[in-house]
Structure 1
Amino acid sequence: MQKNDAAKVGLIGLGAMGLGMAGSLRRAGYEVHVCDIRVEATQAFAAAGGVACASPAEVAASCEVIIGVLVNAAQTEQVLFGENGAAAAMRPGSLFVMCSTVDPNWSIALEHRMQSMDLLYLDAPISGGAGKAASGEMTMMTAGLPAAYAKAGGVLDAMAANVYRLGNRAGNGSKVKIINQLLAGVHIAAAAEAMALGLREGVDAKDLYEVITHSAGNSWMFENRMAHVLAGDYTPLSAVDIFVKDLGLVLDTARASKFPLPLSATAHQMFMQASTAGHAREDDSAVIKIFPGIELPGTK
C-alpha cells in the first residue's frame, strides 16, 4: 500500500501511549481519525489537527488501517466486536494493528477470527513509554502475514524507531512483549526493594540514586522509576495494576508449559500487595510503598 493510499489512519485509544502515537502519525503527514471512551480526549486531538470519531465503527468506515492501543484483550474485543465495533464496519482487506499486551494465544486466535472476515491483522505490542511514543521513537514487536505489512505501508515506521518483524503469523510479537514485561516488572520491583533498603538504612535517597545510576547495579527501570520516587510523584504513566495484569500474563504463559518463574512470581505478589493496599492506579513505582518503616521522599 502506497502512502497516498493510506492518507487516513485510524487510532483507537488515546491513553499515554496512544496519544503520542497519534501525534507521530499526524506529524508524518497522515490524516488521523481517533476514538476514545473519553470524548474530551478525541476533541482535544481534533483541535490539534486530527479527526474525532464517535465510535470505533466510525473510524473503520473512514480508514483501511486501524491501530488499537487498548489496555487489554477485553477492551480490544469490545472495540472490535462490541456495540458500534470496528470489525463489522471494516472494508474487506483492511488492517487492524493490535498494540496491547495480551495472551499470545488470544492474539493468534484473533488473527484467525479477522481472517474469517476477510480482514488483515498484525500482532504488534509496543514498548518505550509515553515519551518515546510522543517522539515516534518507541519499539514495536510485530508478527503477521506479509499482506498485513504491505497494507501497513509506512504507518509503523511513522510511529516507531524500531519495528521488529518476529514471524509471518501472529503470536511471536505478543510472546516477546510478555518476556519484555517479565523483565520490566522484575526490574521495577527490584529497584523499589533496593531504594527501600537504602532508606531504611538511613542513606540519603538522592545520594543513593546518584551512585546507583553510575554503577553496575543500575537499570533503565531503576533510573526511570526511582526518579519518580525521589520526586514523590506517583502520577500514573504506567500504573501498578498494569503490572498486576502483565506479570499475571507472564505467569499464565509459563504455567501452561509448567515452566518455573520464581522472580516473576515474587514481583507479581509485590504489585498485587501494592494494588490491594490502595495504590492500584498510582504509578508502578508506588510498589515501593509496600515496604514498612521507611519515609519516602515528598511525604513529610
Structure 2
Amino acid sequence: MKTIAFAGLGAMGRPMARNLLKAGFTVRGCDVNPAGLADLEAAGGISCASAAQAFAGADAIVLMVVNAAQAEAVLFTDDALAAAPAHAVICLMATCPPQQVQKIAGRVAATGRRFVDSPVSGGVVGAEAASLTIMAAAPADVFEAARPVLEAMGSRTLHVGDKPGQGATVKTVNQLLCGVHIAVAAEALSLAEKIGVDTRTMLGILVGTSAGSWMLKDRGPRMLESDPEVTSAVDIFVKDLGIVLEAGRETKAALPMTALAFQLFNSTSGRGAGAADDSQVIRAYRALNGTA
C-alpha cells in the first residue's frame, strides 16, 4: 500500500488525509469543496479534479463522506471505480446504516475489488491526533492488507467481523451511547441552570464523581458556552441516531432512550441550530424549561 485516494476532505477527512501523508503514503484527494483540496495540497497531497482521476493507480480508496448516498455517488457515478486498479481496497469510513453498507460492498465486489467496512469514532479531535477508534469488518486477509492505512489514522484498529455491515453495526451501538450520553448530560446541567445552581461549579463537581462520564467532561464545558467551536454538529447526531432507530425497527428492538435523544437533537436542528456543536442540544432543554 503506497498510494491512497481520499474522498471527503471535510472536518475529519482533512486531518485524516494529513496523517496518511505523515505516515509516508501518497494521497490523491477529491472533494467538491475547493478548501479541502487546497488543504490537502498544502500538506503535500495531490488534488484531483474527479474521483476517477484520484482512483487511478490507488492501492486503497478511503471514503470519509457524509453518508451512504455520497459513497455510492463517489464510487459509481461515471463508473469512477473502474479507474482503480483491480487490487484496490475500498475503505468506507463514514457512519452508514448496515444494510446500505452491505449494498455498497456487493457492488464493489461485483467489480472484483475488495471492501472494508471501517467506520470511526473519535471526532475531529481524534482525527487530528490520529487517535481514532476504527471498527473494521472484512475477511482477515483484506483487513490485514488495509491495516497499515487504517493504523495511520487511528490508535485502535479493531477487527470486528468478516462481513460488510458488521463494522457499521458496532458503530451504530457506539453512536446510541454517545448521543444518549450527550443528551443526558445536557439534561443534568439544564436542571442545575433552572434551579439556579452555578453550572460551572456543578460541572466541576459532577466530573469528579461517579456521575461523571467522558461525554460530560468533554461536552459539558461547551454546553455552558453560547456559541462553542464545532467539533461535531447537532445534525450529525440527527443522522446517526436516525440510523440507530432504523436498526431498531429492522430488528424490532426497543430503543426508547434513543428515540427521546433523537427528538431533542432533531428539535434543536429544527430551530436552526443543526450546524452548531452537538453540545448545543442543551438548547432544547432551555426551550422546554423557559430558560432560553
Q: TM-score, normalised by structure 1?
A: 0.92
- Alignment counterpart, residue 261 of structure 1, candidates 255, 266, 269: 255
Unaligned runs of 5+ in 1: 1-5
CA–CA distance in structure 2, aligned partners of residues 39 and 110 of structure 1: 27
Gaps of 5+ in 2: none
Structure 1 distance, partners of 2:199, 2:213, is 16
Task: Tell whether 2:175 aligns with 1:172.
Answer: no
Q: Distance in 2 between matches of 1:233 and 1:251?
A: 29
Letter in 1 for 2:153: M
Paired residues for 1:190-209 under 5 Å: 190-209=184-203
Partner residue, 2:61: 66
State the 1:170 CA deviation: 1.1
Pick the aligned partner of 2:232 from 229, 238, 242.
Answer: 238
Question: Is 1:214 matched up with 2:188?
Answer: no
For residues 69-99 of structure 1, what are the alpha-carbon distances to aligned partners after superposition, in whole Å with 9 as ceiling and x for unaligned?
A: 011111111111124x641222212111000
1 CA distance for matches of 2:166 and 2:94? 13
CA distance in 2, matches of 1:209, 1:37: 41
2:107 aligns to what?
A: 113
Matched letter for residue 46 of structure 1: E
1:294 Cα deviation after fit: 5.9
Task: Say if 2:271 is the partner of 1:277.
Answer: yes
Q: Which residue pairs with 2:42 in the alignment?
A: 47
Q: Percent same amino acid among aligned pairs?
A: 38
Deviations 1:19-44 (A, max 9, x none): 12111111111111112111122112
In structure 1, what is the equivalent of residue 7 of structure 2? 12
Q: Structure 1 residues 99-108 or 120-129, which shifts more? A: 99-108
CA RMSD of aligned residues (A): 1.5
TM-score scaled by length of structure 2: 0.95
Q: Is the 8 A contact 1:8 1:31 kept in 2?
A: yes
Contact map agreement 2:57 2:85 (CA 8 A) in 1: no
- Preserved contact between residue 59 and residue 86 of structure 1 (Cα < 8 Å): no
Q: Partner amino acid for 1:16?
A: A
How many residues align? The count is 290
Q: Partners in 2 of 1:144 and 1:26 — Cα distance?
A: 24
Shift of 1:153: 4.6
5 Å-filtered alignment, 1:114-153, equals 114-153=108-147
Q: Which amino acid aligns with 2:181?
A: H
